[in-house]
Structure 1
Amino acid sequence: MTGNAPYQCIQVCGRFLFAAQGANIHSFSLENGNYLSTWKHLVPGTTDDETPAVDALGDFEACAPPTKRRKIGESPDEQTENGESKNSKSKSKSKPQSTYMIPDQPLINLLVSTLDGKFLVAVTSHDKVIRVFEHDGEGAIEQISQRTMPKRPCSILITPDGKAIMSADKFGDVYSLPLIDATESTTPTAVQSRRTTTPTLAEAKIAAAPAKTDIQYKTAATPLTVHTARNRVALENQMMHQASPTQKISKDPSILSFAHTLLLGHVSLLTAISLARDSRGRAYILSADRDEHIRVSRGPPQSHVIDTFCLGHKDFVSRLCVPENKPELLVSGGGDEEIFLWDWLNGRILARENILRRAKEVIPNIGKVAVSGLVSAFQDRHNTTVLSVTCEKIPAIFIYEIKEPCHFEFKTTIQLAGNPLDVYFLPADPRRLVVSLDMMDCLDAAPDVLQVIGLTPESDHAYPSPKIQTNKAPDTQTLPKDDIRKLIYTNEHLRKYEGEVADQGA
């Protein structure tokens, strides 16, 4: 069966809600729920009136990195003529062959904004592109730059001063990029609205060609900041290019044609990054990976210095959350039964909370959970820090308060009609939150896939919320529901196979 993609990412900017559906971004008013505008991701050579076919993604070959080739040949049980298995040379303790394959479809998997709401940053996972949009203050956005990363970003954030983007990729590297790319013009005449026009394929090829002007590389990295052979080659080429701009540099894809700084690297797949400051105002980068580690590194320009680790998870870590009013604390969650509260500067566990127990109250026969969302908000009226926790494919939001002396206090479970994909507290009223739902299996012809709800029935009744008019937004391309689920549910697949754990322990 086919269906429209749900709203997999949401971002609140003042009185406006931006929601990513597939590869498009819609905007709505939080005052009355009205639909406002849409930014469309278009295949080069098409117009708004055309719906590009899936095969048209091949047109990106001229302006984006090619997708990985997937070997789909003989089955594991296929044998040669003499009866021997063709795969007999493989390791005896190899992990089970997975049939899970993520479709190569245009999809915005990350969406963040500056604190003032003037700029949005989105990542389209299929082409590894970081796109920066300018918000006109009335709910409409225009793309002002796009930069292709060497590997697919899996977590991004914008620094509090709104000047830089930090991007963590699946190969374990964290880059810093200027929010405004100095190599691209941001004047109104140079900015084309992607809501109405798109470059032709020929224009895309020209845009992808190397610029004639020399880019001033800032080689902030040193041999101490890189952790892989690939990055060492990249650093050597950057130094070579800085010393002799006319000299040819390597064709290594890690050599980027725009200003950037390599901050740090993990040996494992990165899953989340966050920024925090200590009591003296010193900046730190908190980074989590698939190997159960949370690393505490110093902020730039000393990001190669590791101060400590937060160790205690037994499975992957997928989410990090530093409460705004309690920057000395860190909440983490992933594939474990529990979420953790940390004194991150000293790598010390302060509290744990069994989230699987709460999930069993919603789905009694569930055996594992994968935390997909950790969002906090400060309610100054009650001087409390509220935390919302969501788990993949669990139709509920678990609400906690972080109490003194540093422990979780469970408040309520908000039952939902569908699985929550993203949650965002309203900055103007932390007693309410916006949630996007997966309602593909709902029998209702027009389900409420974006909802503004109160933390308690009392607050929901006292402060009625507008109905978000998602039915007014243009439809996205329909896809098989199984393909959509593979695109939006990715946390559980971070869990290691038993063979992987055994190999690492050997």
Structure 2
Amino acid sequence: MALPYSVLKVCGDIVFAARGGDIYSFTTGLEYISAWRYPAKQANAPSGPSSEPAAASPAPAAAAAPASPASECPPAKRRRVEPEDESASAAQTAEPETTEAKNKKPQQQQKKKTGHQKHSVELPIIQGLYTTTDDRYVVAITGSDKTIWVFEHDGAGNLKQLSQRMMSKRPCSLAITPDNKTILSADKFGDVFALPLIYSEQQQQQQPKETEASSAASTPVSTPSTPQSFKPQANELTIHTKRNLKALANQKLGLKHAGSAKTVDPVFEHTLLLGHVSMLTAIAVASKGDARYYIITADRDEHIRVSRGMPQAHVIEGFCLGHDEFVSRLCIPASRPEVLISGGGDDELFVWDWAAGKLLAKTNLLSHVQKLLPAINKIAVIRILACRPRQEDGNGPTWVFAVCERIPALFAYGLLQDGTLQHCQTIPTPGNPLDVEFLESTSQLLLAMDPDVASSGEGSVASSSLRVLSWEPATAGWQLVDNESSRIKGLPAADDGDAVVLSAEDVQRALYTTESLRKTNSEPAE
């Protein structure tokens, strides 16, 4: 299988669609413009110096993939997908190898060669695309290397890479301040950092040298003592419960691999603004209409926090409490900035007066999913979009669209004046939706999905993973467009085909990650 387009961002009359680690640009009529390639050397062989940063390549030279500077290119993160079994390795060391074990070795090696194996290097996947309000800059995140990428947009669909910054923890969501000067990065460790949108590459290259010089000047002549490694005070003889025994085993396993783990501290300017005691999942910026703005953050522990914007981000204004499961998405409609819509692992979508921390309404999304798929008993919201199609009188309704992980449908609601969400339509799709964006110039929806190519017979994943939905004012309904205007045009053959082929398991692991936020009772009984 090949990766479909999974992340969308509309920037004026330009559509940016991420597929794997690459970003493609199209017109609103889905005519191909250019593509920015994830640096090949960084993805495949991250060693040695490399050339200038990769920029958006026009259609005739779309296959070019120049690499980026070594000073800005962190190596691809290599990790062990499945940790060693300590007890098994200890048993293997203690007991001599039998003849039967020796005979099994060639079979095991042959099985490893022929069977499916997980990648030792994580694939570079664009997990989020963001734009400034003036559409001049585009920001992206790749989770595998914990990197934030900043591009300059020329307004015609071409991207020029300005910087890439590797964070110490994996970013999960970004927001850009209203003045278009600062990136707010929420990571899986629970922290929010502020980074300047534009910064000097020369400053980044000089900063390590200055740091080394200052540290050398302040280092005493005597050799510092080696810090003692941490040793658990407990052992198998002092603890008795299964839970504590398991915790001790995990602690020893972590200590065993701690020596090989290297922590890379960012050398660029970044400021810690606030933190949660749980994994952050979403971040948004809101305003009451005055000059002050607020930072809204959501986490895995069902919390939504409202904090002041910089430089008073440490001040907590309030909370929006009411979720029983993780919160994965936040949405503030442009037509109703006083309203916050949230969703995650709960059965419902929530509507808040975020400034007052007041729940206005909630609607049961699971009930509409079950009308389509009765066997489903839980959902995970992966996208919430609010938009207002144009009408002749200029007073069109505000529509809210919800996408659930692995559910082949788009759920449309009307946002009423009192904050209530009224279900209007369930739109079945020929695949699982991954993202949805609103094309304001044409009053259409653009849907990125994981298509069922085998059953639909529509050809390659690339050509069938973008679909257009049109709005019919007469019927107030949304319909999938199935004509030439809804198909990708001009995409190079190498990209339209399935050049990068992955196993079905790898595709699933790359695209479907939200349900894994749900907490499970995996602890053994005492």
Of 149, 157, 175 in structure 2, the residue corresponding to residue 131 of structure 1 is 149
Give the superposition deviation at 1:440: 5.0
Q: Is the 8 A contact 2:413 2:424 kept in 1?
A: yes
Q: Is the 8 A contact 2:9 2:15 kept in 1?
A: yes
Give the superposition deviation at 1:158: 1.8
Q: Is the 8 A contact 1:24 1:39 kept in 2?
A: yes
Hey, what does 1:410 align to over in structure 2?
Answer: 423
Q: Secondary structure at the match of 2:83?
A: coil
Unaligned runs of 5+ in 2: 52-61, 93-116, 220-260
CA distance in 1, matches of 2:501, 2:481: 38
Listed one character per residue, the Cα deviations across residues 289-340 of structure 1 (whole Å, up to 9, x for unaligned) are 0001111111111111112111111110000011112111110000000010
Hey, what does 1:227 align to over in structure 2?
Answer: none
CA distance in 1, matches of 2:470, 2:206: 50
Hey, what does 1:116 align to over in structure 2?
Answer: 134
Aligned positions of 1:341-356 closer than 5 A: 341-356=351-366
Q: Secondary structure at the match of 1:498?
A: coil
Q: Secondary structure at the match of 1:171?
A: coil
**Counterpart check, 1:495 vs 2:495:** no
User: Looking at both structures, which has the greater relative contact order when contacts are Cα pairs under 8 Å and sequence separation is at least 6?
Assistant: 1
CA distance in 1, matches of 2:493, 2:329: 30
Give the superposition deviation at 1:460: 5.2
36 and 247 in structure 1: CA distance in 2 versus 1, 3 angstrom threshold: farther
Of 25, 31, 34 in structure 2, the residue corresponding to residue 34 of structure 1 is 31
Q: Which stretch of structure 1 is more off in the superposition, 8-17 or 157-166?
A: 157-166
**Counterpart check, 1:481 vs 2:497:** no
Hey, what does 2:200 align to over in structure 1?
Answer: 182
Q: Is the 8 A contact 1:183 1:258 kept in 2?
A: no
Give the superposition deviation at 1:256: 2.3
**Counterpart check, 1:74 vs 2:74:** no
Unaligned runs of 5+ in 1: 82-98, 186-206, 216-240
Hey, what does 1:442 align to over in structure 2?
Answer: 454
Q: Is the 8 A contact 1:362 1:395 kept in 2?
A: no
Hey, what does 2:273 align to over in structure 1?
Answer: 263
Q: Structure 1-normalised TM-score?
A: 0.75
Q: Is the 8 A contact 1:102 1:487 kept in 2?
A: no
CA distance in 1, matches of 2:118, 2:74: 28
Hey, what does 1:10 align to over in structure 2?
Answer: 8
Q: Is the 8 A contact 1:5 1:484 kept in 2?
A: yes
Give the superposition deviation at 1:382: 3.0
Of 289, 294, 297 in structure 2, the residue corresponding to residue 284 of structure 1 is 294
Listed one character per residue, the Cα deviations across residues 203-226 of structure 1 (whole Å, up to 9, x for unaligned) are xxxx989654679xxxxxxxxxxx
Q: Given residue 409 of structure 1, which amino acid in structure 2 is its aligned partner?
A: Q
Q: Is the 8 A contact 1:125 1:153 kept in 2?
A: yes
CA distance in 1, matches of 2:487, 2:494: 17
CA distance in 1, matches of 2:347, 2:208: 51
Hey, what does 1:451 align to over in structure 2?
Answer: 467
RMSD of equivalent CA atoms = 3.7
CA distance in 1, matches of 2:210, 2:85: 49
Listed one character per residue, the Cα deviations across residues 241-281 of structure 1 (whole Å, up to 9, x for unaligned) are 8xx99657xx9947421112211111100000001112544
Q: Is the 8 A contact 1:9 1:421 kept in 2?
A: yes
Of 331, 340, 346 in structure 1, the residue corresponding to residue 341 of structure 2 is 331
Q: Which stretch of structure 1 is more off in the superposition, 106-115 or 375-384?
A: 375-384
Q: Is the 8 A contact 2:167 2:265 kept in 1?
A: no
Q: Given residue 477 of structure 1, which amino acid in structure 2 is its aligned partner?
A: V
Q: Given residue 39 of structure 1, which amino acid in structure 2 is its aligned partner?
A: W
Aligned positions of 1:19-418 closer than 5 A: 19-31=17-29, 33-44=30-41, 63-64=74-75, 66-74=77-85, 104-184=122-202, 211-212=208-209, 247=218, 253=263, 255-379=265-389, 381-418=394-431
Q: Which stretch of structure 1 is more off in the superposition, 18-27 or 491-500?
A: 491-500
Q: Secondary structure at the match of 2:144?
A: coil
Q: Secondary structure at the match of 1:26?
A: strand
Of 464, 467, 474 in structure 1, the residue corresponding to residue 487 of structure 2 is 467
CA distance in 1, matches of 2:510, 2:364: 28
Hey, what does 2:445 align to over in structure 1?
Answer: 433
Q: Given residue 3 of structure 2, which amino acid in structure 1 is its aligned partner?
A: A
Q: Given residue 405 of structure 1, which amino acid in structure 2 is its aligned partner?
A: D
Bigger share in helix: 2
Listed one character per residue, the Cα deviations across residues 461-492 of structure 1 (whole Å, up to 9, x for unaligned) are 99985422375364352111210110111100
Percent identity over the alignment is 40
Q: Given residue 27 of structure 1, which amino acid in structure 2 is its aligned partner?
A: S
Q: Is the 8 A contact 2:74 2:166 kept in 1?
A: no
Q: Is the 8 A contact 1:121 1:133 kept in 2?
A: yes
Q: Is the 8 A contact 2:73 2:164 kept in 1?
A: no
CA distance in 1, matches of 2:88, 2:324: 34
CA distance in 2, matches of 1:146, 1:326: 34
CA distance in 2, matches of 1:139, 1:50: 17
Q: Which stretch of structure 1 is more off in the superposition, 379-388 or 61-70?
A: 61-70
Listed one character per residue, the Cα deviations across residues 140-162 of structure 1 (whole Å, up to 9, x for unaligned) are 11111111100110001222222
Give the superposition deviation at 1:36: 1.3
Q: Structure 2-normalised TM-score?
A: 0.73
CA distance in 2, matches of 1:393, 1:470: 30
